[in-house]
Structure 1
Amino acid sequence: MRAQLEVIKKGVHIVVATPGRLKDMLAKKMLNLNNCRYAVLDEADRLVDLGFEDDIKEVFDHFKAQRQTLLFSATMPAKIQNFARSALVKPVTVNVGRAGAANLDVIQEVEYVKQEAKTAYLLQCLQKTPPPVLIFCESKADVDDIHEYLLLKGVEAVAIHGGKDQEERDYSISSFKAGKKEVLVATDVASKGLDFPDIQHVINYDMPAEIENYVHRIGRTGRCGNTGIATTFINKNQSGTTLLDLKHLLQEAKQRIPPVLAELNGPMEDVDAITNTGGVKGCAFCGGLGHRILDCPKFEHQKSVQIASSRREDFGFGGYRGEF
């Protein structure tokens, strides 16, 4: 913090910050926003998802004059819309394409691969395009296993996930960006907020549980007018809701639908039925096209979290939440 403070004391035009550090410096009066007129939130959906909503509102309270606020997000679930309505005055939504839709510059290939055959098939997929290639996994353990496997096979690979320290992460990202390493294996920590302009191929070793994360992941390729390929492995381990969302996303982007997805039928199969009574496509909560809000796993999860939170407060544990 001392090094950051020395820079700020000299005077700055723009501050790029995480909510926690900015809130801390404002509270300690190391920084003020008296002359600040713009607040920009990048990956706003992710910030709200991670529970930074109250921190951001606290930061907004430090503005002394009228401000213009801009929220950037690839997806527009209900949570971020509610935040925009509560934090902004008469918010205006600017859509570039449909929020939550896949980039049309990405060729999406979905393949059914048995769980035990995925690692071996991964090497074949790496032959589709020249490097750089980005591989996504759901768990840290899978990232480490695949990273080790690729190194044993002679592939120049690096890995990042939440369990690695900052120095390791910085090395992985910088060497991958510089072209010294051909493959980056990562969890969803690399699906948002990192810009790799020349990614040729994204491989989803695991199909994410939420369709929003799929959209973010494949958006790492096909950037700046370039085309890219996204290959996704699916099998019986995925939920029917997620696969139906994927099927409708492929239909919307006019991509080839594999037979295993084409056979799936759900309550949203009638094209006219994709629109809800409120005029919203698919799920009004998460933006998935293959289900409605009543079947939304993300909505169910949030309800259970809210119920658990209210129970804690009812039983007098609310004040100790930070200590558990």
Structure 2
Amino acid sequence: MCFAPHSQIVIATPGRLIDVLENRYLVLSRCTYVVLDEADRMIDMGFEPDVQKILEYIPVTNQKPDTDDAEDPEKMIFLCLFFPPTMSFLMSFQTVMFTATMPRSVWPEATSVGLRVKRVEVVVRNVLPFSHKCSCVVNRKKLLDVLASGFEPPIIIFVNQKKGCDVLAKSLEKIGYNACTLHGGKGQEQREFALSNLKAGAKDILVATDVAGRGIDIQDVSMVLNYDMAKNIEDYIHRIGRTGRAGKSGMAMTFLTKEDSSVFYDLKQAILESPVSNCPPELANHPDAQHKPGTILTKKRREETIFA
């Protein structure tokens, strides 16, 4: 958590923020914005009660007052400077959420803390997702072919397991690539060291697990390569969001195997919804990409029940 006397912005985790509020190290009497970053993960992990508790410490309403005073900027500044207690009747605050994904399963909790869920975009506009159908045996060769095709560093390669992350990075270093790793087995200092090396250009490739899928901002990442496909479409979207940032272009490439078939349908839909991407025929025509897993079986069971 970071705050100082007369701070304009407070950045904190919910638990720590509640701690300092309860001990009155911090007051939120003039707070006008509450921002939830990665709101879907926060709500899904059960932080809704903590968010509600934090909102109770803000002595203003989340409904903007419909008065002439509230619409007059000069009068609001005057009241804020000379009559702070009055502001509690005039001020309003907004609750804003930021996340690339909002699964329907967490929508009820989101709306309960005052969030209005609006699906703006599923896939980053400047990212071009491509999927390559291949077996695990040729992944290594395909990876080297991609890396040799001229993508400028930095590059991020995602894998699903910590051990695979270390093994792949060491293999790349043996053949001349400057690679570093980022996963849950690394301490905070090791993570920061890896990221600083990548940002400074000392390393060209970051091999990472989903730990690097959110909250990591590295400028000019030319490509995100999913060496292992993510286990769900939400993690996939957050991964590819590491490139194509701030109006710049980027490339997302994914290796698929038959073990990833449970994600084929969602991946196909995500690519089709992107205005700058074309779904590869191998994925578009794959039998497992034609329907969401479990829907056909559920329909069949429903028919069996009706006609039993």
Give the TM-score band, short-chain normalised.
Answer: 0.7 to 0.9
* Structure 1 unmatched ranges of 5 or more: 270-289, 296-324
Alignment of 1:1-324 (within 5 A): 8=4, 10-66=5-61, 67-88=93-114, 91-93=115-117, 95-96=119-120, 98=121, 101-128=122-149, 129-239=151-261, 241-253=262-274, 255-265=277-287, 269=290, 291=292
TM-superposed CA distance for 1:42, in Å, is 1.2
* One-letter amino acid of the counterpart of residue 154, structure 1: G
TM-superposed CA distance for 1:202, in Å, is 0.5
* Structure 2 unmatched ranges of 5 or more: 62-92, 297-308
Q: SS at 1:134's partner residue?
A: strand
TM-superposed CA distance for 1:265, in Å, is 3.5
TM-superposed CA distance for 1:45, in Å, is 0.8
TM-superposed CA distance for 1:178, in Å, is 2.0
Q: SS at 1:232's partner residue?
A: strand
Q: TM-score, normalised by structure 2?
A: 0.78
Structure 1 pair 294–48 and aligned structure 2 pair: CA distance change class (3 A) = farther
Q: SS at 1:163's partner residue?
A: coil
Q: Which residue in 1 is equivalent to 2:75?
A: none
Cα distance in 2 between the residues matched to 1:94 and 1:110: 28
Cα distance in 2 between the residues matched to 1:292 and 1:60: 39
TM-superposed CA distance for 1:189, in Å, is 1.3
- Calculate the aligned-residue CA RMSD, in Å: 2.3
Cα distance in 2 between the residues matched to 1:219 and 1:163: 23
Cα distance in 2 between the residues matched to 1:73 and 1:25: 26
Q: SS at 1:237's partner residue?
A: helix
Aligned length: 263
Contact map agreement 2:48 2:113 (CA 8 A) in 1: no
Cα distance in 1 between the residues matched to 2:18 and 2:96: 18
TM-superposed CA distance for 1:46, in Å, is 1.7
Query: Which deviations, in whole Å up to 9, do the C-alpha atoms of 1:80-114 show, x marking residues without a partner?
Result: 421232111xx545554x3xx21232122211222
Q: SS at 2:258's partner residue?
A: coil
* One-letter amino acid of the counterpart of residue 39, structure 2: A
